[in-house]
Amino acid sequence: MTEAGKRGDAAGPGAAGATPGGRILLGHGSGGKLYRDLVRDVFVKAFANPLLERLDDAVALTPSGRIAFTTDSHVVQPLTFPGGDIGRLAVAGTVNDLATAAARPLALAAAFIIEEGFAVDELEAICASMAATAEEAGVPIVTGDTKVVERGACDGVYVTTTGVGEIVVGHELGAQTVCDGDAVILSGGIGDHAVAVLAARGDFHFSADVRSDCAPLWSLVEAAVDAARDVGEEESLHFLRDPTRGGLTTVLAELAEEAKLGIEVEEAAIPVSPAVRSVCDLLGYDPLTLANEGKMVLVVAPETAEALVAALRVQPLGRDAAQVGVVTSAHPGRVALRTVYGTRRVLDMPVGELLPRIC
């Protein structure tokens, strides 16, 4: 028996038939038997749940409240990095987008664009990671789609996840509800995801003891909502956003612009791990502009801030939560950073590609 055949057997009954040679073939995208086998042996097996097992083109959900709906595509390279992989990223990304609307995730759909020749065991590993992350977030993956493209037409695998969630608060969240005096809270240290991926990519010839923070944040947001309720002011929670691409700086700069208010940020209050800091020093990056995949920015009324930070800190994903800034009616549309040196400057959105300095 060939190596590939053994791999197929190891994947479980029927897998050998689904994946001759242990590689994705163009035929897997054809809609025929190979395709059905792939769906059954890889996706249904990984994401097992009654809704998915019906293999309907659409599933019926019966939420009781208001609905949030979002989608997100994931094209990360390398596919696996310390602390995560494209599968974990794809599930966490969409769960976190729902969480920014204070929505409990109800169901996810997953669409795969796979390059011809991609190893099936690698696909299975990605699906296992998605399944584990979805379980962590308490959400089933109930439907999906698969396309196979010719070798070279995509880079391994791209994963798009779409999510539906049930909004658990009665009021509107968003920049328009943010007020002068509101507290800006950050759920933990920043920059870990970007640095972990950069290091795994190997372009910079450095190794860093940094793991991506990639994680689904619904439990954290739920704790924040509960904390606001306990204080008696659910409406005091005004704004939630996850600082992914563009980092904390981009979230705050966009918020200031949308809310037509200013924000004062304390650099000294922003948690950054020593490893992230040293990579930033080396390559000339600003940690405030680096991507995160497991952090949340929360803007709340000042009287709720303390209770909320305390509630976040007892959560495993919010241990380093801290208030990092305050909303002000001074300098509307702009974010001011008070540096650790006591100086003050504007925080501007980063421009263009992330590039290391050369000198």
* The one among 277, 302, 306, 313 contacting other proteins by CB under 8 A: 277
Kindly tell me which of 60 and 358 has the beta carbon lying closer to other proteins.
358
Determine if 273 is a binding residue for other proteins (CB under 8 A).
yes
User: Shortest distance, CB of residue 301 to other proteins, whole angstroms?
Assistant: 24
User: Shortest distance, CB of residue 358 to other proteins, whole angstroms?
Assistant: 4
Contact 331, 255 (CB under 8 A): no
Residue 60, judged by CB atoms within 10 A of its CB (0-12, 13-18, 19+), counts as: exposed
Torsion of CA 25, 26, 28, 29, to 10 degrees: 160
Kindly tell me which of 64 and 343 has the beta carbon lying closer to other proteins.
343
Q: In this structure, are strands 103-115 and 84-85 parallel, antiparallel, or unpaired?
A: unpaired
Kindly tell me which of 102 and 200 has the beta carbon lying closer to other proteins.
200
Contact 98, 163 (CB under 8 A): yes
Kindly tell me which of 53 and 348 has the beta carbon lying closer to other proteins.
348
Pick the stretch among 20-28, 62-70, 238-246, 348-356 that binds other proteins (CB under 8 A): 348-356
Residues of span 199-218 touching other proteins by CB under 8 A: 203-205
Determine if 41 is a binding residue for other proteins (CB under 8 A).
no
Give the interface size with other proteins as a residue count (CB under 8 A).
37
d(CA 160, CA 108): 10
Residue 336, judged by CB atoms within 10 A of its CB (0-12, 13-18, 19+), counts as: middle
Pick the stretch among 42-50, 97-105, 301-309, 349-357 that binds other proteins (CB under 8 A): 349-357
Question: Who's near 6: CB < 8 A, 6+ residues apart?
Answer: none
Residue 249's CB: how many other CB atoms inside 10 A? Answer: 22
Residues of span 176-195 touching other proteins by CB under 8 A: 189
Largest CA distance in the chain: 73
* The one among 17, 284, 291, 296 contacting other proteins by CB under 8 A: 284
Contact 132, 47 (CB under 8 A): no
Per-residue interface string for the shown chain with other proteins, residues 305-344, x marking contact by CB under 8 A = ---------------x----------x--x-x--xxxxxx
Q: Contact positions toward other proteins, by CB under 8 A?
A: 189, 203-205, 267-274, 277, 281, 284, 286, 320, 331, 334, 336, 339-346, 348, 351-353, 355-359
